[in-house]
C-alpha cells in the first residue's frame, strides 16, 4: 500500500497535490476527544442527535421517526443505531449478508437539532445551512448532503412547500410545517433543524482490485485486516460533533454581534444569562 494507489482512497490525490506519499494515519482517523454530543445555549438545552436512516437499499420512510420525541435510548437500543426496531432488523440483516462477502455497502444518516437558538448566521454568503454542509461534507466517506425538504422539495409547488407562520400559546412565532428544516434565509428560526447525509461504501474491501503504483505499473491489490461492512453506525458521533461545533461557533458569533447590546425583546430572544454553558456529558456512545 505504500507504493500503490488504493481505489477510492486519497492516495493518488495526495500525490497529485503534494508530490509525496504519507503512509501514516490518514485524515480519516478522527480523535474521539473531538466528539461533542450536547451543548446548552440557554435555559433550554440544544440537542444534536443523529441516527441511521438508510443501509444500502433499506430506507426509513419519511415521517416514520418523530423528530419531536426521538431519544438516544431509542437510537442506541440496537447495534445499527436506528430508532425503528423493525427497520433496524432489516438493516442488520442487510449488513450480515455483505459482511461475509467482504464487499461493503453504504447508507445514510439523519441528523436533527432541537431547541436551537433563533437568529444564528447571516442571510448572504454565510448561510447556516452552507456552513453545516461544508462542515459535514468534510467528514470521511460522505458523498451527499441535503437540508430540510432537500431534493424532495423539487417535486412541490411554492404553495405546497411554504412554511406558514402562527403564534403559539407562549406568544412565540412558529411555523406550521418545517420544510425549511429550521433555517430560513440562511438564519435559524428555532424550529427543528434536519439534514440527511449519504455515506459511500467503505473503500477498502476484501476482494482483489486493479491498482496503479507510483511508478505507473498496473497490478492487483488484496487488502487484509478488519474492515467495516457498513460505516453508518460509526459515523453518528462524528456527524453530531461537527454539527454541534458549527452551532457553538455561530452561537458565540451571535453573542458578539447581536447580544452584547440591548436586544429588542419583542423580536429577539436572549441567549441566556449563563452564556456560554456547555454540557459535554455522554460524549461516548454505548
Mean pLDDT of 43-70: 90
146 vs 35, which has greater pLDDT? Answer: 146
**Nearest Cα residue to 227 out of 98, 78, 76, 80:** 98
Banded model confidence at residue 35, pLDDT cuts 50, 70, 90: very low
Domains and CATH numbers, the chain: 4-18+46-257 (3.60.150.10)
Q: Provide the 10 A C-beta neighbour count for residue 172.
A: 11
- The pLDDT value recorded for residue 37 is 46
CB 156 within 8 A of CB 110: no
**What is the model's pTM?**
0.81
CB 221 within 8 A of CB 5: no
What is the model's pLDDT at position 268? 82
* pLDDT of 226 above 80: no
Residue 67: pLDDT above 90? yes
Q: From the CB of residue 256, how many other CB atoms can be counted at a distance below 10 Å?
A: 9
Amino acid at each position: 500500500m505504500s507504493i500503490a494507489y488504493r481505489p477510492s482512497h486519497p492516495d493518488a490525490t495526495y500525490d497529485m497535490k503534494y508530490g509525496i506519499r504519507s503512509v501514516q494515519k490518514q485524515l480519516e482517523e478522527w480523535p474521539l476527544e473531538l466528539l461533542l454530543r450536547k451543548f446548552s445555549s440557554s435555559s433550554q438545552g440544544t440537542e444534536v442527535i443523529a441516527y441511521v436512516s438508510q443501509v444500502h437499499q433499506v430506507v426509513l420512510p419519511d415521517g416514520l421517526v418523530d423528530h419531536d420525541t426521538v431519544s438516544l435510548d431509542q437510537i442506541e437500543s440496537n447495534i445499527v443505531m436506528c430508532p425503528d426496531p423493525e427497520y433496524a432488523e432489516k438493516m442488520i440483516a442487510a449488513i450480515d449478508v455483505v459482511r461475509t462477502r467482504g464487499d461493503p455497502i453504504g447508507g445514510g444518516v439523519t441528523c436533527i437539532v432541537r431547541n436551537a437558538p433563533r437568529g444564528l448566521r447571516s442571510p448572504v454568503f454565510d448561510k447556516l445551512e452552507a456552513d453545516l454542509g461544508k462542515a459535514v461534507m468534510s467528514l470521511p466517506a460522505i458523498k451527499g448532503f441535503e437540508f430540510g425538504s432537500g431534493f424532495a422539495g423539487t417535486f412541490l409547488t411554492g404553495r405546497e412547500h411554504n412554511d406558514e407562520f402562527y403564534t403559539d400559546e407562549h406568544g412565540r412565532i412558529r411555523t406550521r410545517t418545517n420544510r425549511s428544516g429550521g433555517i430560513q434565509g440562511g438564519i435559524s428560526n428555532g424550529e427543528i433543524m434536519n439534514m440527511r447525509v449519504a455515506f459511500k461504501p467503505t473503500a477498502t474491501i476484501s476482494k482483489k482490485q486493479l491498482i496503479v503504483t507510483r511508478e505507473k505499473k498496473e497490478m492487483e491489490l488484496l487488502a487484509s485486516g478488519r474492515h467495516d461492512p457498513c460505516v453508518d453506525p460509526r459515523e453518528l458521533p462524528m456527524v453530531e460533533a461537527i454539527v454541534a461545533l458549527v452551532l457553538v461557533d455561530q452561537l458565540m458569533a451571535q453573542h458578539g454581534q447581536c447580544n452584547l447590546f440591548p436586544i429588542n425583546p419583542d423580536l429577539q430572544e436572549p441567549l441566556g444569562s449563563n452564556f456560554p454553558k456547555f454540557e459535554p456529558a455522554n460524549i461516548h456512545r454505548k
